[in-house]
């Protein structure tokens, strides 16, 4: 019992949809029964507002296996361009796995197998001929625990440019300044760009990682619980940053913190046990969710 997906379809590699923005009516709101979780892939309740957005990333019938264990069951979702999309759900529901699949970071793990596909600007990500390096350069990632390299702040920020072989000192300096300003860190570190990045506080390190991610000028920012290791003040700063970065970047943020999702995101996707249950504008999802399951989670009754 699959939703009528004419465009997403049962796809593998060669899916190439000529440039488009809106989806067929078949993807409009469908009720999914919470009770059918144990059975075949439950249909995702995707609100109409999401369907109306222009999307940058399309996840198409995506399944992921860790060895024999199926971690993601037929995920279908579109990430809107220029907006912040939050992935919420209880621990182990597959949010981080889904996020890491978007820049193919799961390739690094042994025994991972995928079915389905993801499309980035209408081009397949998992096609055999895809240059994974190029793909990753167009996506920036920020991890749960900040991981600046054991180098100077400057070297950290321009690492992405060094990969591309950029040596022009002026370009490097400009990019460093621009990225640090974009990450709201410039004023704090401009006098010590060449000191070790490990000497920064946790919140500063995380903003440095954000600066590093945006220095390479990606289109999409993938953030895996970026604030979970930070204190409330640092969290506030990073959330303000995320709010400013929208528009220029499309952001997907995985978060455990529902208040954060409510504060920061335009759209929220609720996942449960490897399935995408409901996906809609943040306000609607939190105030008037369609599914009982969603309501139970956002009001804190489980998870």
- Does residue 133 touch other proteins according to CB under 8 A? yes
Tokens of 298: 């956002």
Tokens of 25: 């009516």
Report the residue from 1, 108, 187, 233 that binds other proteins according to the rule CB under 8 A. Answer: 108
Taking CB under 8 A as the rule, which mask of x and - marks residues 60-99 in contact with other proteins? Answer: ----------------------------------------
What is the nearest approach in angstroms of other proteins to the Cβ of residue 166?
A: 13
Taking CB under 8 A as the rule, which mask of x and - marks residues 3-22 in contact with other proteins? Answer: --------------------
Scanning 26-34, 117-125, 138-146, 259-267 for contacts with other proteins by CB under 8 A, the matching segment is 138-146
Tokens of 153: 């702040």
Query: How many amino acids of this chain bind other proteins (CB under 8 A)?
Result: 26
Report the residue from 118, 185, 216, 234 that binds other proteins according to the rule CB under 8 A. Answer: 216
The residues, any chain, with a CB within 8 Å of residue 31's CB and separated by 6 or more, are: 45, 290
The DSSP result for 154-198, as a single string, is HHHHTHHHHHTT---HHHHHHHHHHHHHHTT-HHHHTT-TTSBGG
- Does residue 182 touch other proteins according to CB under 8 A? no
Phi, psi of 254 (to 5 degrees): -90, 130
Scanning 14-22, 31-39, 63-71, 139-147 for contacts with other proteins by CB under 8 A, the matching segment is 139-147
Tokens of 264: 């920061």
What's the rounded Cα separation, in Å, for the pair 146 and 137?
Answer: 19
Listed residue (26, 107, 59, 96) closest to 274, CA to CA: 96
What is the nearest approach in angstroms of other proteins to the Cβ of residue 159?
A: 6
Report the residue from 42, 56, 93, 105 that binds other proteins according to the rule CB under 8 A. Answer: 105
Give the neighbor-by-neighbor strand order of the sheet with 220-224: 45-46, 275-281, 267-272, 84-88, 250-254, 220-224, 139-142
Report the residue from 121, 147, 196, 257 that binds other proteins according to the rule CB under 8 A. Answer: 147
Q: Angle at the Cα of 220 (from 214 to 223), degrees rounded to 5? A: 80
Report the residue from 2, 54, 113, 145 that binds other proteins according to the rule CB under 8 A. Answer: 145
Binding site for other proteins (CB under 8 A): 103, 105, 108, 110, 133-134, 136-137, 139-141, 143, 145, 147-151, 159-160, 162-163, 209, 212-213, 216
């Amino acid at each position: 019992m699959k939703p009528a997906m004419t465009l997403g379809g049962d796809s593998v590699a060669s899916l190439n949809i000529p440039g488009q923005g809106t989806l067929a009516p078949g993807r409009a709101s469908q009720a999914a029964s919470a009770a059918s979780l144990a059975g075949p892939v439950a249909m995702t309740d995707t609100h109409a507002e999401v369907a109306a957005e222009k999307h940058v990333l399309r996840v198409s019938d995506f399944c992921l296996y860790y060895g024999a264990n199926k971690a993601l069951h037929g995920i279908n979702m579109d990430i809107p361009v220029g907006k912040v999309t939050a992935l919420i759900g209880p621990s182990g529901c597959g949010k981080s796995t889904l996020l890491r699949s978007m820049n193919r970071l799961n390739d690094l793990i042994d025994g991972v197998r995928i079915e389905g596909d993801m499309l980035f600007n209408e081009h397949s990500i998992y096609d055999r001929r895809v240059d994974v390096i190029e793909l990753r350069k167009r996506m920036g990632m920020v991890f749960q625990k900040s991981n600046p390299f054991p180098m100077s702040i400057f070297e950290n920020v321009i690492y992405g440019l060094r990969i591309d072989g950029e040596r022009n000192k002026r370009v490097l300096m400009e990019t460093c300044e621009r990225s640090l300003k974009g990450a709201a860190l410039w004023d704090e570190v401009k006098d010590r760009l060449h000191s070790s990045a490990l000497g920064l506080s946790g919140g500063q390190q995380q903003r440095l990682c954000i600066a590093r991610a945006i220095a390479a000028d990606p289109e999409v920012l993938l953030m895996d619980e970026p604030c979970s290791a930070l204190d409330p003040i640092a969290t506030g700063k990073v959330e303000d940053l995320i709010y400013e970065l929208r528009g220029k970047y499309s952001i997907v943020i995985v978060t455990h913190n529902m208040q954060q999702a409510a504060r920061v995101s335009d759209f929220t996707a609720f996942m449960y046990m490897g399935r995408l249950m409901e996906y809609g504008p943040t306000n609607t999802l939190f105030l008037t969710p369609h599914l009982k399951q969603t309501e139970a989670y956002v009001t804190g009754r489980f998870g």
